[in-house]
Amino acid sequence: MDITSGKQQAHELIDRLDETQIAAVVRFLEFMMMDPVSQSIAAPSFEEEELSDETRHAIHRSEAWFHERGGKGIPMAEVLADFGLTLDDFPLDPERHGSQG
């Protein structure tokens, strides 16, 4: 993908977002434009963060959920179907979905 078609695809995707998604994308892009030192200062330090009892219980529940299902999660197609979408709504493979640019 060349720079022009990449930018065009990014603009097309942004045009499809709602207001709350745009705000998140703008914050992400602003973060990406920071120098590496500023990024490390702005990023949360997860290793220093203390887990609450509620979070610890949620982690244990999720691990048990996966264990009960043989370590398998929910297929992406099923998750997308809950939102009225299919895998074809996310053309990541140009060979499979044709040219985007």
Please give the pLDDT value at position 38: 78
Together in a domain, 65 and 92: yes
Domain boundary among 31, 49, 67: 49
Q: Model confidence at 29, in pLDDT bands (50, 70, 90)?
A: confident
Residue with tokens 């045009």: 15
Please give the pLDDT value at position 84: 92
Together in a domain, 88 and 98: yes
| Mean pLDDT of the region 24-31 | 87
Cα 19 to Cα 15: distance, rounded to the nearest angstrom: 10
What is the domain extent for residue 81?
50-101
Region of 32 (left: φ > 0; alpha: ψ -120 to 50; beta: rest) is: alpha
The total domain count for the chain is 2
Q: Each residue of 36-71: pLDDT tens digit?
A: 877 777 777 666 678 899 999 999 999 998 889 888
Together in a domain, 41 and 81: no
Cα 11 to Cα 15: distance, rounded to the nearest angstrom: 6
Q: Which residues contact 25 (CB under 8 A, 6 or more apart)?
A: 14, 17
Q: Each residue of 63-90: pLDDT tens digit?
A: 998 889 888 888 888 989 999 999 888 8
Together in a domain, 91 and 56: yes
| Mean pLDDT of the region 11-36 | 87
Task: Provide the CA 69 distance to its chain's centre, in angstroms.
Answer: 24
